[in-house]
């Protein structure tokens, strides 16, 4: 099985439309695993715990983590296969790919959304990035990359995933896969809470350390 498609669901009508768009685009239920997590009426999962649940249950070689308000159009499975094959040819040490990300303080997108149709701002593809937006993420399952277990909420999870990939020695990329996202993004009261938690966690994780088993084997990581 090549693809697992995982989604947190708060509205089954939106999810059905998302799933139908993927099936029309060639991601058949015969060949792909669909993993919806039920958040209707109650947040049983956030995007960190939910993402890890999907990754742990996935059977596909590549795990697509996608919002319920994404529609797989105009591109489809053939284009995604081409993107992944091209990415493998460029860098076998990739772990995460997406359609919007940051590199050298520049934001690149390949998407249609409420901000505009057919946005295409990367100078070339695949383009390495530091961070990816979470509306559409493709994770190479064999890398065992996952989300932090000590973060919660619905923001910064794409950034967290890319940082965890980087720590493990893998890279993240924006690819030339054009889908439609029917949302501008959500800024709610929890955004700043998630931002503060994200900064605090990674500031601690990347702190300076001095380690060593013996006096002549001391290593300082600045």
**Tens-place pLDDT, residues 161-203:** 999 999 999 999 999 999 999 987 777 788 999 999 999 999 9
What's the whole-model pTM score?
A: 0.94
The Cα 180–Cα 84 span in angstroms is: 19
Q: What is the pLDDT of residue 215?
A: 72
**Residue 146 pLDDT > 80:** yes
Residue 179: other Cβ atoms inside 10 A? 24
pLDDT grade, residue 220 (50/70/90)? confident
The Cα 70–Cα 81 span in angstroms is: 19
Name the nearest CA neighbour of 84 among 19, 177, 160, 179. Answer: 177
The Cα 24–Cα 32 span in angstroms is: 13
Q: What angle do CA 121, 114, 67 make, to 5 degrees?
A: 90
Domains and CATH numbers, the chain: 3-221 (3.90.550.10)
Q: What is the pLDDT of residue 218?
A: 82
């Amino acid at each position: 099985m090549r693809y697992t498609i995982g989604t947190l669901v708060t509205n089954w009508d939106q999810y059905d439309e998302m799933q139908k768009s993927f099936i029309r685009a060639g991601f058949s239920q015969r060949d792909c695993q669909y993993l919806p997590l039920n958040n209707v009426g109650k947040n049983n999962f956030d995007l960190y715990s939910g993402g890890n649940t999907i990754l742990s249950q996935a059977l596909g070689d590549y795990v697509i983590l996608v919002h319920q308000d994404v529609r797989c159009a105009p591109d489809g499975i053939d284009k995604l296969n081409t993107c992944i094959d091209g990415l493998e040819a460029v860098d076998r040490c990739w772990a995460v790919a997406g359609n919007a990300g940051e590199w050298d303080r520049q934001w690149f997108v390949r998407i249609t959304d409420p901000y505009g149709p057919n946005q295409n701002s990367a100078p070339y593809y695949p383009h390495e990035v530091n961070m990816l937006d979470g509306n559409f993420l493709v994770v190479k399952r064999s890398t065992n990359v996952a989300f932090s277990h000590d973060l919660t909420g619905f923001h910064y999870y794409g950034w967290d995933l890319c940082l965890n990939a980087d720590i493990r020695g893998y890279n993240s990329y924006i690819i030339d896969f054009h889908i439609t996202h029917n949302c501008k993004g959500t800024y709610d009261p929890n955004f700043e809470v998630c931002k503060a938690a994200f900064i605090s966690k990674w500031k601690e994780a990347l702190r300076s350390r001095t380690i060593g088993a013996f006096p002549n084997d001391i290593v300082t990581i600045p």
